[in-house]
Chains A and B, each alone.
Chain A
Amino acid sequence: MRKIYMDYSATTPLHPEVIALMTDVMKNVFGNPSSLHSFGREAKKYLDEARQKVADLIGAKFEEIYFTGGGTEADNIAVFGTAYAHRKKGKHIITSAVEHHAVLDSCAKLAKSGFEVTFLPVDQYGMVDPEQVKKEIRSDTILISIMHANNETGTIQPIEEISKIAKEHDVFFHTDCVQSVGKIPVNVDKLGADLITLSSHKIYGPKGVGALYKRKGVRVEPLFYGGGQERKIRSGTENTLGIIGFGKAAEIAVREFDIENTRVKGLRDRLIKGVLEKIPDVRLNGHPEKRLPNNAHFSFAYVEGESLLLSLDMKGIAVSSGSACSSSSLQPSHVLTASGLPQELVHGSVRFTLGRENTEEDVDYVLSVLPGIVERFRSFSPLVGRKTV
């Protein structure tokens, strides 16, 4: 059966060049980068190269990149680390209702332990209003954390405006760029962030490795203690192999940025146009223009998302859904709920995220099977006729 992967925002396959480099390193480089002998020095050399490549990906300095065990860990260091390091200055944190759980739940935990957190609402596109950020800033606000692009809807936040506001009020600003990097420009000076979260496995690198960009002079408290690796920000022997793979993926992301994103956006636009034309009562979620070039996120009225996901899977098409039934927590998507989507449409949501291996034929195949699947479920949905999109 034909297999089509359209869930690139969940994770990506390794780029062939990443596999080639990692295979070579796996065979030939095993030293601990902290060791002073030749084995250690060789590993350190590879580690440094990777750090430079990740720095280049976002226009940062070599020494501003701290490798972590993934995006979640970098988010946790950014949120807890900043809160703990600056608790004497204040206890107030501002974030949004649509953040990834790595930020959202970290903030919620802080709110239970003496900090105060403002969760900003969003508009119908899932967008944060910079003016509202400004209004919520207090004299004791120490951190603002707003993601660059949303992992579900792909909506891109006005980060430059928000970081400017943060700077004017002398508040640290963190932005999670896990979904945006490699797909839209991410430059530390343009974004103006003090802290940025990156992840390797969303850009065709290996899983279990990420990075925190920390602007020079910004102080965060470590969450792990031990050997003092990553300049004490993240103790623990470096995941050398993973980091080297991440470095290679970063290098490729820079090199292929224009050509790949233009190509994928073309496919994505073809998918959106086709779905809206071929299927009635469909809503495109997220911002119509200010969205990641690979993201198409729909709600199909009267139909439940997990059922759609399963049926697409039977046809070899891999997607994800914001329906409660498709999540292990059985909670419907907090992003779509915060964007004011009616419950029925939250449960009927499906995310297609495209990437390197997708072709025009893939999109056309999806367009050839999806209308029939939606139609079949609608034929026995008790909701048909009750509500409209």
Chain B
Amino acid sequence: MYNPTVMDHFENPRNVGEIPDADGIGEVGNLSCGDILKVYVKVVDGKLEDVKYQTFGCGAAVASGSMLTELAKGKTVEEAMKITNNDVAEALNGLPPQKRHCSNLAADALHKALEDWRSKQK
């Protein structure tokens, strides 16, 4: 069902866990669909110095969270805001069609985390 890249990120998810002193936190998903994904960011000088995630979700959710952290780390906030769920799926060499909507929400969580960070800047 899942390709080798997805399985690799599922088996060895990168950057899992929380950042205790995170600058921004974003959570998306709900229990009725079965996937929840939470992203933590550490922003230093406008750059994402650290990105971590936690998930309650299927294989696609675990893998997309992992890939997202890899795509986002080191990027500027502006660049990170441009990362889409589709970018994450493409970086994973694709997800099964039925997983594209419900489980591919890591970028949304990242954007929420960055909005959270922004709201604290004022």
Contacts and interface: CB of A to CB of B under 8 A. Distances in A.
6 contacts: A323-B58, A325-B57, A332-B34, A343-B34, A380-B53, A380-B55
Contact of B61 (A304, A330, A344): A304
A303 interface: yes
Given A310-B10, A324-B34, A304 B27 contact: no
Interface residues of B, number: 29
Contact of A325 (B32, B37, B102): B102
Contact of A382 (B10, B27, B62, B103): B27
A166 B9 CA distance: 55
Interface string B7-30: 000110100110000000001000
A172 interface: no
Interface in A317-350: 323-326, 328, 330, 332, 342-344, 347
A325 B55 contact: no
Interface string B83-122: 0000000000000001100110000000000000000000
A381 interface: yes
Contacts of A306: 58-59
- Point out which of A310, A332, A379, A382 has the most chain B C-beta atoms below 10 A from its C-beta: A382
B35 to A, nearest CB: 7
Interface residue tally of chain A, by bracket? 20 to 34
Contacts of B16: 379-380
B38 A304 contact: no
B33 A324 contact: yes
A212 B54 CA distance: 49
A383 interface: yes
B10 A304 contact: no
- Point out which of B11, B31, B55, B98 has the most chain A C-beta atoms below 10 A from its C-beta: B31
Contact of B58 (A302, A325, A380, A382): A325
Nearest to B54: A382
- Point out which of A314, A323, A379, A380 has the most chain B C-beta atoms below 10 A from its C-beta: A380
A11 interface: no
A381 to B, nearest CB: 5
B38 A344 contact: no
Interface string B44-68: 0000000001111111111000000
Contacts of A310: 2, 10, 59
Interface of B: 2, 10-11, 13, 16-17, 27, 31-38, 53-62, 98-99, 102-103
A328 B99 CA distance: 10
A333 B37 CA distance: 22
A326 B99 CA distance: 10
Contacts of A304: 34-35, 56-58, 61
Contact of A326 (B31, B37, B58): B58
Nearest to A314: B11
A307 interface: yes
Contacts of B61: 304, 307, 325
Given A307-B62, A310-B59, A325 B38 contact: no
A136 B7 CA distance: 50
B37 to A, nearest CB: 8
A347 B57 CA distance: 9
What are the 9 A-B residue pairs with the smallest beta carbon separation, nearest first?
A: A325-B58, A306-B58, A380-B16, A382-B54, A343-B31, A382-B38, A324-B34, A347-B34, A380-B54
A306 to B, nearest CB: 4
Contact of B98 (A303, A330, A332, A382): A330
A249 to B, nearest CB: 30
Given A323-B58, A324-B34, A332-B34, A380 B27 contact: no
